[in-house]
């Protein structure tokens, strides 16, 4: 008998933090990401478009140790090989990256596989292909992903109405606009610069979690 696959992207994953190149002056990757975990980040993704593969592997090893200690999943952006090498929990792939099918084949049924989506067709395709979650964005224009048109909160509302797998709103989300994103239908948010560029990443994460909890109560 076929049993339905149980995704490891569980209900409790609400605040998703991605690494970035622009940390607050004087802070390191390990230091900043530990602060996000202390503040309540539920999942961490390694993404650094400026690093070489060798540097990424080194960063992945540091984050694997850290996330294990906090019992939080580690996702690697783009690189299935690095995910395999460090024993990460999964990968995140864009529309132009390696395919979902290849990632599933190589990482197995237990892996968490996320897909970036910019329109409902991408979302429904990822869902049908067995993605564990999708990114919905960029909601707002963002310097972290320059040149990518904002999808606005309209797509967040569409995703909330039509997508059955978990979705994470991403792109230009800060403590000043997260209430609008949550009101549009998001229950999970993702941030890079608002968290990793802050002088106190733990405090920012705590505030994001408070907004998310408040929106749950209001729903």
> Residue 9, SS3?
coil
Q: Tokens 């290849």 — which residue?
A: 102
Check whether 117 is labelled as a binding-site residue: no
C-alpha closest to that of 9 among 89, 117, 64, 108: 89
Q: Which is nearer to ligand TZP, 111 or 134 (CB)?
A: 134
Question: In this chain, which of 93, 191, 205, 215 binds ligand TZP, going by CB under 6 A?
Answer: 191
Residues ≥6 apart with Cβ < 8 Å to 200: 35
Judged by beta carbon distances under 5 to 8 A according to partner kind, the member of Mg ion, ligand TZP, none in contact with residue 137 is ligand TZP
Is there a catalytic annotation at residue 116? yes
Is there a catalytic annotation at residue 206? no
Give the C-alpha separation, 215 to 219, whole Å: 6
Catalytic residue among 14, 47, 64, 188: 47
Judged by beta carbon distances under 5 to 8 A according to partner kind, the member of Mg ion, ligand TZP, none in contact with residue 91 is none
Strand partners, 135: 116, 168
* 17 makes contact with ligand TZP (CB under 6 A): no
Q: Which is nearer to ligand TZP, 49 or 69 (CB)?
A: 49
Phi, psi at 124, each rounded to 5°: -70, -30
Helix axes 201-218, 29-39, angle to 10 degrees: 30
Is there a catalytic annotation at residue 47? yes
Binding to ligand TZP, residues 105-144 (CB under 6 A): 116, 135, 137-138, 142, 144
* 89 makes contact with Mg ion (CB under 5 A): no
Give the C-alpha separation, 40 to 17, whole Å: 10
Strands (E), the chain: 15-18, 43-46, 74-77, 90-93, 112-117, 133-136, 167-169, 189-191
**How far separated are the first and last CA of the chain, in Å rounded?**
38
Judged by beta carbon distances under 5 to 8 A according to partner kind, the member of Mg ion, ligand TZP, none in contact with residue 78 is Mg ion
Least distance in angstroms from the C-beta of 20 to ligand TZP: 6
From residue 140 to residue 179, the character string flagging contacts with ligand TZP as x (rule: CB under 6 A) and all else as - is --x-xx------------------------xxxx------
Residue set of the binding site: 45-49, 77-78, 97, 116, 142-145, 172, 192-193
Active site residues: 47, 116, 145
Question: Under the rule (CB under 5 A), what is the footprint of Mg ion?
Answer: 78, 94, 97
């Amino acid at each position: 008998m076929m049993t339905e696959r149980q995704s490891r992207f569980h209900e409790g994953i609400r605040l998703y933090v991605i690494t970035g190149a622009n940390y607050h002056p004087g802070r390191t990757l390990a230091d900043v990401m530990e602060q996000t975990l202390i503040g309540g980040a539920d999942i961490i993704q390694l993404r650094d478009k400026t690093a070489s593969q060798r540097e990424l592997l080194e960063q992945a090893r540091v984050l694997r140790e850290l996330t294990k200690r906090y019992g939080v999943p580690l996702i690697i952006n783009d690189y299935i090989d690095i995910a395999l090498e460090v024993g990460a929990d999964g990968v995140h792939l864009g529309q132009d990256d390696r395919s979902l099918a290849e990632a599933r084949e190589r990482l197995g049924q237990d892996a968490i596989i996320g897909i970036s989506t910019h329109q409902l067709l991408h979302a429904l395709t990822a869902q049908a292909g067995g993605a564990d979650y999708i990114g919905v964005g960029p909601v707002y224009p963002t310097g972290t992903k320059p040149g990518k048109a904002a999808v606005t909160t309209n797509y967040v509302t569409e995703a909330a109405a039509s997508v059955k797998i978990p979705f994470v709103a991403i792109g230009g989300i800060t403590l000043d606009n997260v209430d609008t994103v949550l009101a549009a239908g998001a229950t999970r948010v993702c941030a890079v610069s608002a968290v990793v560029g802050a002088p106190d990443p733990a405090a920012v994460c705590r505030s994001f979690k408070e907004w998310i909890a408040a929106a749950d109560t209001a729903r």
